[in-house]
Structure 1
């Protein structure tokens, strides 16, 4: 049966289900989430060693197809074939067989279909299904497709599959992953063809496979390379340390790019340390990130405060939240105002002061009626205040008013938990939610939140 403790309270509506304040904290804006969806078309290169021995090592191919639709499977089971047949979602065959079609599948949350389309597009590059172990030539496009496919596998929590498909790439530094290996295709270009985000993904993957120390080691190597490149640039040299005659303007652009990348590596290290529950080092690392992303300072300090809340250090959390409030001279506007109120609300939650927390979340909703985090948490506060009916009304109102925005997995998880607390008709109510999900959600929807068994 359901219990209050299984409800999701927390800073982001997409937290994993860990009860009260969940351990996955939304530290920054979505730009820096731990596994961002790929930005198709942006290949960011890391210069690497000179490739004196040019031997083909790229023998990669997708391992299998991943099509499937858990929502449709549940519909067949609970609502029958007639209802299931009405569910229309895009698949790998119903979109243009190109990056355009891929973007369409990703934007409509049909990530399984997107994984399969990547497989098909890689076939056009001679790297399709069943080609593993055969020599192949990489291009910037084929590596971009690999990155998208691997990022989607991680996003779908298919970590073992991602590991298997990463394997042929080794440490991402084989000679055939460099422009110099293809002088006729990329005359005069130097350095690695591997997108920087793919290197981050390769490093982060290990922590999801239970090897966080390996993730940290890989990220540390990336940090060393980024730091060395920045040193070279600041001495007026090229990224690889050779003499250069590029303009001051271009050098400055390179410095900014590599500073941003170093910040991104530090952010991943901080997330990994947080996952390892090494809070002292994690907080240090988040402080370092502020140096590279000063515009994210209020979000990062708020996130650090929430870490202290989670480990029960209310005093230190309050100090961080006060630091954010003191920045009002430097930061103003609606987003900042909401952040301050959100911090206050979470502080009240940490003190089990649900009435005050509810007031703060309600204040946020007055300013920003569509705020899903405030709505979800306000409803849970009502439940803890013994107002189950009001709580249900608030969550149901959200979902009915704007299903596209609010059919969020943690909101639905809370709603189904409340149905179990409230009604013997919880099964029918859950099935009604399944019907709403079927209209709006793609093939990557996590059906576990509906608790249909």
Structure 2
């Protein structure tokens, strides 16, 4: 899906994708939908298929990034597997992982600074922004809460080059922190180079038993996912799907081979398999293949005990594809679920009303939801869209501006929110330029690093 649409169409549902409530687009090739569950009747328990094994040698495998509105932050993670006895661990010494030459310098400017230099004059009006990456003056928690990804990336690098290579748990954890921060800075080329450097060292481990032990026991699963995502950043979306399928296959095999005496290991790999399945479904949505995405999510719902969050996500994908009746059926399931919250049910009702063109009903539901939960900025965002659809442009702008004033630090990092507000300003063309400059100043004060500045709809060249 488009990262930042050029037309004034607004985004709904708190994600950075355009809602599609008409008939689904034609699909040139429908990718095969993998079975997300971990039972393969046609596979041997002791062997991996030859093609998968070859692919794994070329591509050490990896896990996800989900959108603002679809993350389940309260979801409990499965318990960690029981570690092997220390005497069973092979001796692995990888000094290459802490060499300074493994890292590239981080640029000391960013697109937001470029916009400030172009649009805000005189220079005294521009907020002071620290793009030096200095991290010594703040603690880790403060850096995370202020979205200081540049400083965190530098901190990870500085600590890596002084860490004992024998402490592989710490080394690999710092590597994940470094790469995750680079990706949050949208330095995707640099992330790809450094991630490739990391896996080049890991794949050179000898003997093969030591390498297998490290990948199974020590390597964070998120690093494997990130390595797979390099294909996405390179623009190879079909290759990305293929790599995710290889990773899903790995999760299946590991879950099936987990010893019965160690149930936590099997639970861990099943959880990872479900996560990879959700990444695949997300990618299919981005490719506008809503049919394949819903097939995969339906499998998750029928082969396990689905949560209300999963049912709601499936129904919302059906809405994007224009399958309103199927969405209605899943929303009905959610309303009967004991784990469904009142806010979730109201949001589902509002989205269904929008899909049916009942904008006044949607506005009424969302207004009640916001009165109950003022910090629900997804609801605020959707309310502005429903007001605009009724021709109430001024009220839509006021709703977004009130949320921005109430909690600027939370709102300015939500790119769909900023895109919608910028679009509404453009529709009131008389004051658009001044209002967008004011919004840019507010964003520069609060957003930290890594904002996708195209959401402000202000050309940088």
Mark yes or no: TM-score above 0.5: yes
Contact 2:314 2:330 (C-alpha < 8 Å) held by counterparts? yes
Which stretch shifts more, 194-203 or 164-173? 164-173
1:57-102 per-position Cα deviation (integer Å, ceiling 9, x unaligned): 8687123313324333333331332223x42547532435xxx845
After superposition, the Cα gap between the structure-2 partners of 1:94 and 1:159, relative to the gap in structure 1 and judged at 3 Å, is closer
Q: Which residue of 2 aligns with 1:355?
A: 360
Q: What CA distance in whole angstroms lies between the structure 1 residues aligned with 2:215 and 2:437?
A: 56
After superposition, the Cα gap between the structure-2 partners of 1:281 and 1:438, relative to the gap in structure 1 and judged at 3 Å, is closer
TM-score (norm 1): 0.75
Q: What CA distance in whole angstroms lies between the structure 1 residues aligned with 2:290 and 2:429?
A: 41
Q: Which residue of 1 aligns with 2:258?
A: 233
After superposition, the Cα gap between the structure-2 partners of 1:215 and 1:20, relative to the gap in structure 1 and judged at 3 Å, is closer
C-alpha displacement at 1:205, in angstroms?
A: 3.1
Q: What CA distance in whole angstroms lies between the structure 1 residues aligned with 2:103 and 2:232?
A: 22
TM-score (norm 2): 0.74
CA RMSD of superposed structures (Å): 4.1
Contact 2:150 2:449 (C-alpha < 8 Å) held by counterparts? yes
Q: Which ranges of structure 1 fall in alignment gaps of 5 or more residues?
A: 34-38, 127-135, 183-187, 237-250
Aligned length: 403
Q: Does 1:71 align with 2:96?
A: no
C-alpha displacement at 1:343, in angstroms?
A: 1.2
Structure with more contact order per residue of length (Cα contacts < 8 Å, sep ≥ 6): 2
Q: What CA distance in whole angstroms lies between the structure 1 residues aligned with 2:436 and 2:200?
A: 46
Q: Which ranges of structure 2 fall in alignment gaps of 5 or more residues?
A: 25-65
Q: What CA distance in whole angstroms lies between the structure 1 residues aligned with 2:206 and 2:350?
A: 49
After superposition, the Cα gap between the structure-2 partners of 1:446 and 1:231, relative to the gap in structure 1 and judged at 3 Å, is closer
C-alpha displacement at 1:162, in angstroms?
A: 2.1
C-alpha displacement at 1:206, in angstroms?
A: 1.6
Q: Does 1:321 align with 2:327?
A: no
Once the two structures are superposed, the pairs formed by residues 219-368 of structure 1 within 5 Å of their partners are 219-236=244-261, 251-290=262-301, 294=305, 297-327=307-337, 330-332=338-340, 336-368=341-373
Q: Does 1:443 align with 2:454?
A: no
Q: Does 1:115 align with 2:153?
A: yes
Q: What CA distance in whole angstroms lies between the structure 2 residues aligned with 1:293 and 1:156?
A: 37
Q: Which residue of 2 aligns with 1:36?
A: none
Contact 2:20 2:322 (C-alpha < 8 Å) held by counterparts? no
Q: What CA distance in whole angstroms lies between the structure 2 residues aligned with 1:171 and 1:263?
A: 28
Q: What CA distance in whole angstroms lies between the structure 1 residues aligned with 2:358 and 2:274?
A: 36
1:82 corresponds to which of 124, 137, 152: 124
C-alpha displacement at 1:199, in angstroms?
A: 0.7
Q: What CA distance in whole angstroms lies between the structure 2 residues aligned with 1:105 and 1:179?
A: 39
Q: What CA distance in whole angstroms lies between the structure 1 residues aligned with 2:278 and 2:149?
A: 25
